[in-house]
């Protein structure tokens, strides 16, 4: 499981839901990063892992336990489903439902919040391409879009995000 394509993301989340349902549970997850780009936006072919955060009454320990069981059963890396990106979730999230299966509901943050996360990470060409697509989903003037993104910036990364946003805005037709 080096890379997960869209169907593999769907299959993995569906199996996670099946396992939860077998325990009488329904998981609510906030999908972040590459998982959103692959599953919701079809922006790229694959992702290395699935970044997700437990929402509502879903307990993170429950998600980790079921994910670990699936990793062992399928020979997947232990971190195939992880919370590594949760530190980039800043401000209140307005989740949108993007996937359901028995035992699981998967949401994504608003596009402006996802863009803020990409601007703060700003690691490579993948982040830049993802940010460009997310920017194209937002409407308004430069100032209006920036005002929508700014509340979701990771403290200490605001300047990096501002420079990244400026570069991105200038490149956008």
The pTM of this model reads 0.92
* 84 Cβ contact list (under 8 Å, min separation 6): 49, 51
Between the CA of residue 161 and those of 18, 25, 136, 139, 147, what are the distances in Å?
A: 39, 38, 17, 19, 13
Name the residue among 129, 170, 139, 167 with its Cα closest to residue 42. 129
In order along its 173 residues, the chain shows pLDDT tens digits of: 567 889 999 999 999 999 999 999 999 999 998 899 999 998 888 888 899 999 999 999 999 999 999 999 988 889 999 998 898 999 998 999 999 999 999 999 999 999 999 999 888 788 889 999 999 999 999 999 999 999 999 999 999 999 999 999 998 77
């Amino acid at each position: 499981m080096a890379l997960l394509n869209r169907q593999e993301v769907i299959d993995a989340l569906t199996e996670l839901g099946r396992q939860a349902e077998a325990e009488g549970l329904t998981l609510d997850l906030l999908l972040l990063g590459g998982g959103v780009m692959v599953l919701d936006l079809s922006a790229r072919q694959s992702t290395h892992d699935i970044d997700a955060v437990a929402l509502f009454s879903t307990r993170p320990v429950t998600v980790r336990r079921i994910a670990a069981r699936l990793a062992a059963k399928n020979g997947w890396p232990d971190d195939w489903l992880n919370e590594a990106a949760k530190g980039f979730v800043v401000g209140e999230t307005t989740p949108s439902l993007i996937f359901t299966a028995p035992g699981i509901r998967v949401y994504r943050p608003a596009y402006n919040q996802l863009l803020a996360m990409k601007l703060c990470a700003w690691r490579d060409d993948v982040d830049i391409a993802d940010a460009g697509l997310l920017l194209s989903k937002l409407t308004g003037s430069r100032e209006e879009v920036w005002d929508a993104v700014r509340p979701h910036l990771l403290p200490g990364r605001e300047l990096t995000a501002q420079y990244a946003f400026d570069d991105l805005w200038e490149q956008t037709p």
